[in-house]
Amino acid sequence: MSSMSPPGAAEEIRSDSGRGPGPQSHAETDDVPWSRLDLRVVWVNLFGLLVSLVPTVVARVFFGVDADSGSFGLWPALIISSIGVTGTVLGLNRWWKTWYRITDDRVELITGRVVRTYRYVPRERIRTVETGARLRHRIARLRILEVGSGEKGSAFKLDAIQADEAERLRRELMGAHAEEDEGTDGPEPIAVLRRHWILYNATSMWAAAIGALLLFSAFWTFQVFAVDLRDVFRGLWDWDALGTLGSVLVGGLCLHLIGTVFLTIGFFKDRWGFRLERVRTDDGTVLRTREGLLRTREVNREDRRLRGMSVSQPLLGRWMGTTETEVVSTGLAAWTPGTDPPSIVLPKTSGKEARRVAGLILQDGICPLEAPLTPHPRAALYRRFGWAAVVSVIAAAAVKAWPVEEHWMTVVAVASPLFFLLAAIAYRSLGHTRVGPYVVTRWGLWSRTTVALQTRAVAGWRFRQSLAQRLFGLMSVGVLTAAGARHYKAPDMAVGDAPWFAGQTTPELLADFLVEDTTHRSAKREMRK
């Protein structure tokens, strides 16, 4: 890392803060030197260039593949190498044109040579600081530091800087407490990696599709070296003796096994050393996640911005209790594609473990996610049955129009009960309640989501009523907030219950709009409680 003052740094200025000091105050911090990315990133990129050339060299020298060999000749290997060359050029350009510095009040970044772009984030608006490293970075003792303010497109990514410098900057920006520097073992973790979590993360209905994609990729890869995998698979089994149905079953089982192995490897690669803990800082406490084997990752989330918890269960994973756990927090909107959003604090695990961790994170002595929910009226079930009937009629008409229309009755007899079953499952997912300082809602078919949101974080309510809901006496309620997904819903509540529930949750917001109806049964029940 070297320090310098790039000339003409303020030719083009772009602020990601939405407010704060402008370019006129840029000169006030000229005494703070600018830094560049570590020079070792250049050698890392050049090493990546050599690796990308390996397929072409091996195919040409050891297998004698040329442009006229096989179906595609040498072109697949050349494409792989060209991608590597492009990545190397972009990496070198990133090092060449990037400067950064950390001042007392902001983080600044300058990019560009011909047209310079100046970006900054005030330090008080920093919400997340992530450090990570791919395998090649770890070998060179480099780290990737990403700073975000929670706004879309506001993240700074410094790829890459020295490991010690990245740790120093992380502690400086997040205000890490001095006890970490004293060599202590740190706080008691909220959760650590458990081996049985692999059951929830590697069990997937998409395993067979993943296996098929891997085999497809392997097929074209081996084509580069003039090896046809079809001949290999024909010799593995007597497929004629198995017959068509047996071949399909064995092939599907093999694909599912390959996909499951891939998911297992990916789980341990991404989650190895997982640790969730609460760490004290100068400004309070943060929830810190550390994980990764070949590529390490660390995410810090400020507790003072925590507004609740959310757990979701996929439809096909509910039989084993598969649950995904997220925090509802402000300032976690920005995240890097290809990784889990910073709001996710646990790998997929059991519902019991997810609720235990949620209770420890909230620190209120209660776990609102375990509270019994008020069911929605039966009219919500009838409305879903109505949609199931409509879908059944559409499916019957579509199947009857096919050339195999003689089987349309069989298809309808099988599909219609399935649609009605899904309607019943969707209805059973509905619920709402209020527990202490939290409002809790649950909804969803393919992914049943339960959200516990602090009432102080409720910024408003949205009431929606479609024509079908009017016929059934229903109304959908939306909880508006500045945290998490910004909008959480409670579909198909009774018309009388919806405004009463909202008014009891945040009376200061709706006191001027609600008129007490003493004749409504639901109101009387709530008043008696």
The per-residue pLDDT for 338 is 58
Domain closes at, from 239, 271, 303 = 271
Burial call 116-141: b when 16+ CB within 10 Å, e when fewer: bebbbbbbebbbbbbbbbbebbbebe
Same domain, 265 and 216: yes
273 contacts 292 by C-beta, under 8 angstroms: yes
Chosen domain end from 141, 174, 207: 174
What are the residues whose beta carbons fall under 8 Å from the beta carbon of 442, sequence distance 6 or more?
Answer: 373, 429, 430, 431, 432, 448, 449, 450, 451
Asked if residue 520 is part of any domain, the answer here is yes
In a domain, 470, yes or no: yes
Question: pLDDT of 449-506, one tens digit each?
Answer: 999 999 999 999 999 999 999 999 999 999 999 988 899 999 999 998 898 899 888 8
Phi and psi at residue 299, in whole multiples of 5°?
Answer: -125, 135
Per-residue confidence of the chain (529 residues) as pLDDT tens digits?
Answer: 444 555 443 333 443 433 333 343 444 556 788 888 888 888 888 888 888 888 777 777 776 666 555 555 567 677 777 888 888 888 888 888 889 998 888 888 888 777 778 888 888 877 777 788 888 888 888 888 888 776 655 567 888 888 888 888 888 887 654 344 444 456 789 999 998 999 999 988 888 899 999 888 888 777 766 677 777 777 777 777 777 788 788 888 989 999 999 999 999 988 999 999 998 877 788 899 989 887 788 888 888 889 999 999 999 888 889 999 999 998 775 555 556 788 899 999 999 999 999 999 998 778 899 999 999 999 999 999 999 999 888 887 777 766 555 666 776 777 888 999 999 999 999 999 999 899 999 999 999 999 999 999 999 999 999 999 999 999 999 999 998 889 999 999 999 889 889 988 888 887 777 665 544 445 444 434 4
Count of all residues that appear for the chain in the document: 529
**In sequence order, what are the residues at sequence separation of 6 or more whose Cβ sits closer than 8 angstroms to the Cβ of residue 19?**
none
What is the spatial distance between Cα 328 and Cα 455, in angstroms, rounded to a whole number? 13
Same domain for 115 and 18 = yes
Identify the helix (H) or strand (E) that includes residue 62.
none
Instruction: Write down which residue in 107, 140, 174 finishes a domain.
Output: 174
Helices first, then strands: H and E counts in the chain: 15, 20
Instruction: Classify residue 180: in a domain, yes or no.
Output: no
* Of 252, 253, 295, 256, nearest in space to 273 by CA: 295
pLDDT for res 16: 41
SS3 265: helix
The tally of domains found in the chain comes to: 3
**Residue 387 belongs to some domain of the structure:** yes
Same domain, 22 and 83: yes
Please indicate, yes or no, whether residues 246 and 122 belong to a single structural domain of this protein: no
Question: Within 13 A of 486's CA, how many CA atoms are on the CB side?
Answer: 4
pLDDT of residue 91: 81
- ∠ CA 470-388-446 to the nearest 5 degrees? 95
Task: Count the Cβ atoms, other than its own, within 10 Å of residue 313.
Answer: 21
Q: Is residue 276 part of a domain?
A: no
402 and 465 co-located in one domain = yes
Q: How many CA atoms lie within 13 A of 97 on its CB side?
A: 14
Residues 23 and 10: beta-carbon distance below 8 Å: yes
Sign of CA dihedral 410, 413, 419, 425: negative
Q: Where in the sequence is the domain holding 452, given as residue range(s)?
A: 378-528
Same domain assignment for residues 67 and 130 = yes
Phi/psi region, residue 338 (left: phi>0; alpha: psi -120 to 50; beta: rest), is left
- Chain-centre distance for alpha carbon 99: 30
Query: Which among 440, 498, 490 has a CA at the least distance from the CA of 473?
Result: 498
Torsion of CA 28, 32, 37, 38, to 10 degrees: 170
Asked if residue 137 lies in contact with residue 297, where contact means CB atoms within 8 angstroms, the answer is no
Residue 71: what pLDDT? Answer: 53
Q: DSSP of 390-431, one letter per residue?
A: HHHHHHHHHHHTSTTGGGHHHHHHHHHHHHHHHHHHHHHT-E
**Per-residue confidence (pLDDT) for residue 259, from 0 to 100:** 92
Residues 514 and 384 in one domain: yes
In a domain, 487, yes or no: yes
% of the chain at pLDDT higher than 70: 81
Average pLDDT over the chain reads 80
Q: Are residues 51 and 163 in the same domain?
A: yes
pLDDT in tens, 397-408: 777 766 555 666
How many beta carbons lie within 10 A of that of residue 271, not counting itself?
20
User: What is the reported pLDDT for 346?
Assistant: 93
Beta strands per DSSP E along 284-348: 284-291, 296-302, 306-314, 324-329
Predicted local distance difference test score (pLDDT) of residue 349: 95
Confidence (pLDDT) at 250:
84
HSE at residue 309, side-chain half, CA atoms within 13 A, is 23
* Backbone φ and ψ of 454, nearest 5°: -65, 135
Q: Are residues 218 and 115 in the same domain?
A: no
Q: Same domain, yes or no, for 520 and 423?
A: yes
Q: Look up residue 30 and give its two tokens.
A: 């000229």
Q: Which of 326, 395, 391, 387 is nearest to 354 (CA)?
A: 326
Based on the fold, state whether residues 153 and 212 are members of the same structural domain. no
The CA angle 265-266-270, to the nearest 5 degrees, is 120
pLDDT for 380 equals 95
Q: Helix 239-271 vs helix 207-224: angle between axes, to the nearest 10 degrees? A: 100
- In this predicted structure, what is the pLDDT of residue 68? 58
Q: Quick check: is 340 in a domain?
A: no
Let me know whether 170 and 204 are in one domain.
no
In a domain, 288, yes or no: no
